[in-house]
């Protein structure tokens, strides 16, 4: 039979507290490897090498699709009309001046790119990461009665203009991200770095 | 000889005691109807899923290069592999169908009311684990739907303010959905979640046998006992209920086999056709639809198209979707009615439950079709109705006139 009250309550209390603290420390320590193993591995981190693209074959008004870090990247060469259309819908865009941090500084301009006639976008809808579709045609579409050309996400109906700026009143909260990019020469676009690394 | 062996075991393990407590002397209320079959059938489906799952595991490969091909290998090259896989896919849909019927039964007859609150919460927990199990399993074939479902659902985590993006990368283990993500979802699907599911189902049944089964009348059978302390309105579970359940299992297995042999795709609802195309990270399918058993929640997610203050529409959609699942757990404390069964509740409760069922079905439909402004508006209305069932429950159950509940069950 155990006595109802411990003979030395102060010592008991101290031992319970001390064991609990040490035990908690041990649990936290043991959790570190299990939690850390969830992080991207060194291999996954190394997979982010830049992608080089030859854009000489990209005609005006066309889009090409390349892959960078497993993400689809859209490259569009503007026509004269499509460049002008970028100014026509400003009131319907939720961030027309690219205030939110979705692009490198050199792309914080009306065409959101280094070069006026070429736009480079991560084709990852800022809503739930579907790849938006390229709709360059103007006029009436299923989702817009006065469409100025741009991208439409088939998953949840978000719309973006040709510079990847999001329309207001759609589920996507921000503009499509512009990846870091630069031109190694007239026809070679490098995606994944802001400038040549020597 | 047998008696001596049994005595030997009973001295070391409570075998006879357990058998009597949970089977031969467990008092099953009389008057239990069709709705009370879902529970036992859920156990049957759990066993089917475990066995077919173990066999699938023998040939499945959880890598981004090999997953899709290994499913085709199972379907074409493994002897009877196709039927084992169809068992698993059919089983998953029926699992959800039955758990929805089982939950509806609980709402219908007030099976969550005192003293069955914990029983309800444990059942809710099995449902949540099942939702996670269904999602992780859906990704494994690594078809187009698998990939984009993972993309869309995991992206929701990224909508959490402040640390969402970091948390998302931590969960994916990569900067995008990749083979790394696939293999960890695989580990959850085949080890962690099934273990948790079995453990919680076990505790759910222990809790059931502690408080006793409810019945369609919502009458507490323990109020009238015979001289041995056995409820008068009950029969022993074994053999009476077991025989009835075996009959139900027989009919259920006939239906199961019918689907298995003649409609394994279920017209695109049990296995979605887009998933016959291998995962492509550069191309989103035209139309992304989750499995039918998630579409009500998916419709709720899409219904939230407006931000509130600093919170984005995306995050609010995530909160509403999660809230729709979490709120179910609170029903025992929301229901203030003095009676259990819908048979004796007032007209408000009947209207409310009917509205809930209609909302859930309409939302399920809206989650399957492409959104347009009218459908989005409908989804918003029915999402509101879904939540009103729960939020208004303390009021309509309190202020409605109930019928008097008889003392004994009449059959």
> Helices in B159-276 by DSSP H: which ranges?
164-172, 179-187, 193-211, 242-262
Q: Output the CA torsion sign for B64, B65, B71, B74.
A: negative
Picking from A40, A72, A171, the nearest residue to B313 by CB comes out as A171
pLDDT of A86 reads: 81
Verify that A55 and A15 share a domain, yes or no.
no
CA distance readout (Å), B217 to A125, B123, B209, B334 = 52, 21, 19, 20
State the pLDDT confidence band at A155, using cuts at 50, 70 and 90: confident
CB spacing of A171 vs B302 below 8 angstroms: yes
Q: pLDDT, tens digit, for every residue of A110-119? A: 888 888 889 9
> What's the average model confidence in pLDDT over A151-172?
86
pLDDT of A129 reads: 84
Q: pLDDT, tens digit, for every residue of B253-282? A: 999 999 999 999 998 899 999 999 999 988
Query: What distance in Å separates the CA atoms of residue B41 and residue B78, rounded to the nearest whole number?
Result: 29
Q: Tell me the range of A31-40, A141-150, B193-202 where mean pLDDT is highest.
A: B193-202
Verify that A138 and A190 share a domain, yes or no.
yes
CA distance readout (Å), A194 to A77, A114, A180 = 20, 10, 5
pLDDT of A42 reads: 85
Tell which wins on pLDDT, B406 or B372: B406
Choose, out of A125, A156, A170, A177, the residue to mutate when testing the contact with B (most B CBs < 10 Å).
A156
Picking from B148, B178, B312, the nearest residue to A173 by CB comes out as B312
pLDDT of A100 reads: 85
Q: Which residues of B touch A171 (CB under 8 A)?
A: 302, 305, 313-314, 317
Residue-range domain boundaries for chain B? 26-146+181-274, 289-411
CB spacing of B286 vs A67 below 8 angstroms: no
> What's the average model confidence in pLDDT over B183-205?
97
pLDDT of B323 reads: 97
pLDDT of A198 reads: 59
Q: Tell me the range of A30-44, B235-249, B283-297, B349-363 where mean pLDDT is highest.
A: B349-363
Verify that A93 and A23 share a domain, yes or no.
no
Choose, out of A64, A94, A155, the residue to mutate when testing the contact with B (most B CBs < 10 Å).
A155
Residue of B nearest to A132 (CA): B284
Q: Which residues of A touch B156 (CB under 8 A)?
A: 128
| Domain harbouring A95, CATH code | 2.102.10.10
> What's the average model confidence in pLDDT over B193-222?
96
Contact A118, A55 (CB under 8 A): yes
Q: Which residues of B touch A65 (CB under 8 A)?
A: 282
Architecture of domain B26-146+181-274: Up-down Bundle (1.20)
Residue of B nearest to A64 (CA): B282
Residue-level length of chain A = 198
Query: What distance in Å separates the CA atoms of residue B154 and residue B177, rounded to the nearest whole number?
Result: 9
Residue of A nearest to B171 (CA): A38
Q: Is the pLDDT of residue B111 over 60?
A: yes
Residues of chain B with a CB closer than 8 angstroms to some CB in chain A: 148, 151-152, 155-156, 158, 169-176, 178, 180, 184, 281-288, 302, 305, 307, 312-314, 317, 370-372
Verify that A58 and A137 share a domain, yes or no.
yes
CB spacing of B284 vs A131 below 8 angstroms: yes
Shortest Cα–Cα distance, B233 to chain A (Å): 45
A-B CB pairs within 8 A amount to 85
Picking from A70, A132, A173, the nearest residue to B314 by CB comes out as A173
Residue of A nearest to B168 (CA): A39
Picking from A40, A157, A169, the nearest residue to B175 by CB comes out as A40
Verify that A59 and A28 share a domain, yes or no.
no
Mean pLDDT (chain B, rounded): 94
Contact B130, B288 (CB under 8 A): no
CB spacing of B281 vs A72 below 8 angstroms: yes
Q: Which residues of A touch B155 (CB under 8 A)?
A: 127-129
Verify that A25 and A80 share a domain, yes or no.
no
If one counts the domains in chain A, the total is 2
Verify that A130 and A188 share a domain, yes or no.
yes
Tell which wins on pLDDT, B1 or B143: B143
Verify that A14 and A78 share a domain, yes or no.
no
- Whether residue A131 lies within 8 A of chain B, CB to CB, comes out as yes
pLDDT of A89 reads: 77
Query: What distance in Å separates the CA atoms of residue B194 and residue B196, rounded to the nearest whole number?
Result: 5
- Whether residue A139 lies within 8 A of chain B, CB to CB, comes out as no
Least confident of A54-68, A132-146, A162-176, B11-25: A132-146
Burial tier of B53 (Cβ tally within 10 Å: 0-12, 13-18, 19+): buried
State the pLDDT confidence band at A1, using cuts at 50, 70 and 90: low
Contact A14, A6 (CB under 8 A): no
Identify the domain containing residue A117 by its residue range: 48-198
Picking from A129, A157, A170, the nearest residue to B151 by CB comes out as A129
Q: pLDDT, tens digit, for every residue of B298-318? A: 999 989 888 888 888 889 999
Query: What distance in Å separates the CA atoms of residue B88 and residue B4, rounded to the nearest whole number?
Result: 43
State the pLDDT confidence band at A2, using cuts at 50, 70 and 90: low
Q: Is the pLDDT of residue A46 over 60?
A: yes
Q: How do strand A71-77 and strand A118-122 relate by DSSP bridges?
A: antiparallel
Verify that A122 and A194 share a domain, yes or no.
yes
Query: What distance in Å separates the CA atoms of residue B338 and residue B356, rounded to the nearest whole number?
Result: 21
> What's the average model confidence in pLDDT over A9-28?
94
Q: What percent of chain B has pLDDT over 90?
A: 83
CB spacing of B284 vs A130 below 8 angstroms: yes
CB spacing of B178 vs A170 below 8 angstroms: no
Choose, out of B145, B166, B175, the residue to mutate when testing the contact with A (most A CBs < 10 Å).
B175
Q: Phi-psi region for residue B361, left (φ > 0), alpha (ψ -120 to 50) or beta? A: alpha
Choose, out of B147, B174, B177, the residue to mutate when testing the contact with A (most A CBs < 10 Å).
B174
Query: What distance in Å separates the CA atoms of residue B344 and residue B219, rounded to the nearest whole number?
Result: 10
Contact B327, B371 (CB under 8 A): no
Among B288, B279, B361, smallest CA distance to A157 is for B288
pLDDT of B88 reads: 97
Picking from B155, B178, B305, the nearest residue to A129 by CB comes out as B155
pLDDT of A61 reads: 86
Query: What distance in Å separates the CA atoms of residue A168 and residue A171, rounded to the nearest whole number?
Result: 9
Tell which wins on pLDDT, B52 or A193: B52
Verify that A33 and A58 share a domain, yes or no.
no
CB spacing of A154 vs B284 below 8 angstroms: yes
Q: pLDDT, tens digit, for every residue of B220-260? A: 999 999 999 899 999 999 899 999 999 999 999 999 999 99
CB spacing of A38 vs B313 below 8 angstroms: no
CB spacing of A40 vs B307 below 8 angstroms: no
- Whether residue A127 lies within 8 A of chain B, CB to CB, comes out as yes
Q: Which residues of A touch B305 (CB under 8 A)?
A: 169-171
DSSP state of A93: B
């Amino acid at each position: 039979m155990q006595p109802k009250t411990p003979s030395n309550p102060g010592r008991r209390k101290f031992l319970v507290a001390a064991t609990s603290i040490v035990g908690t420390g041990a649990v936290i320590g043991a959790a570190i490897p299990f939690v850390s193993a969830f992080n991207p591995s060194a291999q996954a981190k190394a997979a982010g090498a830049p992608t080089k693209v030859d854009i000489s074959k990209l005609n005006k008004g066309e889009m090409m699709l390349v892959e960078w870090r497993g993400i689809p990247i859209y490259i569009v060469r503007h026509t004269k009309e499509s460049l002008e259309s970028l100014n026509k819908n400003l009131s319907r865009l939720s961030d027309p001046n690219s205030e939110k941090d979705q692009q490198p500084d050199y792309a914080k301009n009306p065409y959101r790119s280094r070069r006026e006639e070429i736009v480079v976008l991560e084709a990852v809808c800022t809503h739930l990461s579907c790849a938006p579709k390229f709709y360059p045609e103007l006029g009436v579409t299923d989702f817009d009665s006065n469409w100025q050309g741009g991208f439409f996400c088939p998953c949840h109906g978000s719309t973006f203009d040709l510079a990847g700026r999001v329309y207001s009143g759609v589920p996507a909260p921000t503009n499509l991200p512009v990846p870091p990019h630069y031109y190694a020469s007239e026809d070679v676009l490098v995606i994944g770095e802001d400038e040549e690394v020597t | 000889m047998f008696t001596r062996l049994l005595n030997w075991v009973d001295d070391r393990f409570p075998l006879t005691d357990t058998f009597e407590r949970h089977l031969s002397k467990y008092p099953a209320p009389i008057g239990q109807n069709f709705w009370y079959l879902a529970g036992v059938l859920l156990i049957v489906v759990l066993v089917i899923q475990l066995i077919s799952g173990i066999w699938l595991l023998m040939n499945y490969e959880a890598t981004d290069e090999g997953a899709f091909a290994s499913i085709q290998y199972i379907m074409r090259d493994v002897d009877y592999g196709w039927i084992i896989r169809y068992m698993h896919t059919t089983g998953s849909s029926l699992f959800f169908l039955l758990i929805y019927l089982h939950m509806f039964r609980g709402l219908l007859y007030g099976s969550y009311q005192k003293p069955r609150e914990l029983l309800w919460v444990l059942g809710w927990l099995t449902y949540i684990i099942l939702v996670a199990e269904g999602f992780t399993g859906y990704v494994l074939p690594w078809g187009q739907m698998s990939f984009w479902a993972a993309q869309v659902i995991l992206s929701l985590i990224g909508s959490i303010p402040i640390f969402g993006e970091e948390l998302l990368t931590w969960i994916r283990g990569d900067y995008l959905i990749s083979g790394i993500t696939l293999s960890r979802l695989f580990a959850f699907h085949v080890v962690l979640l099934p273990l948790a599911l079995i453990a919680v189902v076990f505790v759910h049944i222990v809790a059931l046998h502690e408080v006793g089964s409810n019945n369609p009348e919502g009458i507490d059978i323990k109020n009238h006992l015979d001289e041995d302390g056995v409820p008068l309105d009950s029969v022993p579970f074994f053999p009476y209920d077991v025989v009835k359940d075996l009959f139900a299992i027989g009919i259920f297995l006939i239906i199961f086999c019918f689907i298995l042999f003649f409609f394994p795709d279920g017209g695109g609802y049990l296995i979605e056709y887009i998933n016959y195309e291998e995962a492509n990270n550069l191309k989103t399918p035209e139309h992304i639809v989750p499995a039918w058993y998630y579409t009500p929640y998916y419709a709720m997610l899409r219904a939230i198209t407006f931000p509130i203050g600093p919170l984005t529409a995306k995050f609010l959609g995530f909160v509403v979707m999660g809230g729709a699942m979490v709120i179910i757990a609170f029903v025992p404390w929301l229901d203030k009615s003095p009676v259990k069964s819908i048979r004796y509740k007032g007209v408000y409760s009947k209207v409310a439950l009917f509205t809930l069922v209609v909302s859930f079905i309409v939302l399920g439909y809206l989650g399957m079709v492409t959104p347009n402004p009218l459908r989005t508006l409908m989804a918003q209305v029915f999402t509101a109705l879904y939540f009103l069932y729960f939020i208004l429950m303390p009021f309509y159950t309190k202020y409605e006139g109930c019928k008097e509940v008889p003392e004994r069950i009449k059959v």
